[in-house]
């Protein structure tokens, strides 16, 4: 079953949910705050998409970090920050069973046999 990852109060996540509902695509919603986020799941996103695609450096959460937290950001440190603050992860991430899609791109919100 496809999985939509994000946080429920994100506008992009809401748009993605509406798109999936309109397309009558059954999916499971995984809210990082409710369902949790572990290092293995986060690393699987990074392995598939790359760190730059997963870490949202334009988010409010990023801007609220101290300069010290942002400097010399190693991949390991970035993972630790995202685990502590899941709102640093670009949203939504949609796993359609074939690929991971970052952000809301309605033209890509399909299932593998579409």
Three-class SS of residue 85?
coil
What is the Cα gyration radius of the chain? 14
CA 84 to chain centre: 14
Q: Does the annotation mark 19 as catalytic?
A: no
Question: Can you say how many angstroms the Cα of residue 60 is from the centroid of all Cα atoms in its chain?
Answer: 15
Q: Which two tokens stand for residue 87?
A: 């709102």
Choosing from 10, 51, 79, 83, which is the catalytic residue? 10
Closest CA to 55 of 34, 76, 36: 76
Catalytic residues: 10
């Amino acid at each position: 079953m496809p999985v939509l990852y994000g946080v429920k109060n994100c506008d992009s996540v809401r748009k993605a949910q509406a798109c999936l509902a309109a397309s009558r695509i059954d999916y499971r919603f995984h809210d990082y705050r409710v369902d949790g986020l572990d290092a293995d799941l986060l690393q699987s996103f990074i392995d598939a998409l790359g760190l730059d695609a997963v870490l949202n450096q334009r988010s409010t959460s990023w801007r609220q970090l101290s300069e010290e937290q942002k400097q010399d950001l190693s991949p390991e440190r970035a993972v630790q920050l995202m685990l502590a603050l899941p709102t640093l992860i670009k949203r939504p991430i949609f796993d359609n069973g074939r690929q991971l899609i970052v952000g809301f791109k309605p033209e890509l919100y399909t299932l593998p046999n579409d």
